[in-house]
């Protein structure tokens, strides 16, 4: 199941596309959800950062990260030579999930790769994701703007300590998804999420991919692992043994 020509055009113009179809079979989706619940318990049900790159600790997740169901969506957007960059379980508990400030993923990876124009995140909903429980929101078209200027924010209320200045929130598009559906967004797009003030948990699994036309800079990524998901290693990322 791939994207349509219109889906790809929308992604190029706006920096995102919604895939309102089931990404995995029910059995495969349950297996992924079970792995999340297991890891969530293992870290004491703490928020966010403890569940960064969970596939480093549990390679069962590679069954999902390297799956054709995902790569067939990614390939029309970044091309046939695909590296697995990272993954992340992001969970906001009822009433206590912090706000995700407006940011660009590329800003946090600046200096770690040689280019950012072909990096895509697949955000797979494990729970229902709605405006009430803090679904992801984006400012369309901002992936064309380059790196933004940031300012400090209260870390007690926000997942990150900085946020992009001067956002026109009236332009925000909210990614409401049913469990098993996903969104795809460019690493450069401005996005964030409000706090979860509802009685419903909001969990998603981000799966991030880059075109291997980009080189991962070894000295800026100590201990980091990437995988060749499909095609060839164009830029010569040989220091990473999994690529």
| Inter-residue contact 40 to 89 (CB < 8 Å) | yes
- On whether residue 241 sits in a domain, the answer given is no
Per-residue pLDDT tens for 163-190?
A: 888 889 999 999 999 999 999 999 999 9
Is residue 237 in a domain?
A: no
Write the pLDDT tens digit of every residue in 89-129.
Answer: 988 888 876 788 899 999 889 999 999 999 999 999 999 99
Domain tally for the chain?
1
Would 198 be classed as within a structural domain? yes
The DSSP element (H or E) to which 32 belongs, if any, is helix 26-42
The answer as to whether 203 is a domain residue is: yes
Q: DSSP alpha helices (H): ranges in 43-199? A: 54-57, 62-65, 68-78, 105-108
pLDDT of res. 48: 52
* Mean pLDDT, range 7-13, rounded to an integer: 97
| 240 occurs within a structural domain | no
pTM of the model: 0.93
Question: How far, in Å, CA of 32 to CA of 29, rounded?
Answer: 5
Domain containing 187 equals 5-230
- Let me know if residue 243 belongs to a domain: no
Dump pLDDT digits (tens) for 15-68.
Answer: 999 999 999 999 999 999 999 999 888 877 665 545 789 999 899 999 999 999
Going across the sheet that includes 173-174, the strands are 100-103, 191-193, 136-138, 173-174
* The pLDDT of residue 42: 80
* Assigned domain for 235 exists: no
In a domain, residue 201? The reply is yes
Q: What's 29's domain CATH number?
A: 2.60.120.620
pLDDT over 90 for what percent of the chain? 70
Report whether pLDDT(243) > 70: no
Mean pLDDT of the chain: 91
Q: 66 vs 17, 71, 207, 218, CA distance in Å?
A: 20, 7, 10, 22
């Amino acid at each position: 199941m791939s994207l349509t020509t219109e889906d790809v055009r929308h992604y190029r113009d706006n920096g995102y596309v919604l895939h309102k179809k089931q990404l995995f079979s029910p059995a495969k989706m349950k297996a992924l959800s079970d792995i999340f619940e297991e890891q969530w318990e293992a870290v004491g049900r703490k928020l966010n950062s403890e569940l960064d790159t969970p596939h480093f600790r549990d390679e069962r997740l590679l069954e999902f990260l390297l799956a054709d169901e995902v790569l067939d969506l990614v390939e029309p957007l970044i091309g046939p030579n695909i590296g697995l960059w990272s993954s992340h379980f992001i969970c906001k508990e009822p009433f206590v999930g912090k706000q995700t400030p407006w940011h660009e993923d590329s800003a946090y990876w600046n200096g770690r790769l040689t280019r950012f124009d072909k990096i895509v995140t697949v955000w797979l909903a494990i729970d229902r994701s709605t405006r009430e429980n803090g679904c992801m929101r984006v400012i369309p078209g901002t992936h064309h703007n380059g790196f933004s200027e940031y300012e400090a924010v209260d870390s007690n209320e926000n997942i990150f300590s900085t946020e992009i200045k001067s956002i026109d929130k009236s332009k925000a598009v909210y990614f409401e998804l049913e469990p098993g559906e996903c969104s795809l967004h460019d690493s450069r797009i401005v996005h964030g999420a409000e706090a979860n003030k509802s009685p419903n948990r909001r969990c998603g699994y981000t799966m991030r991919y880059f075109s291997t036309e980009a080189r991962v800079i070894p000295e800026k990524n100590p201990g980091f692992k990437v995988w060749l998901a499909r095609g060839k290693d164009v830029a010569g990322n040989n220091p990473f043994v999994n690529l």
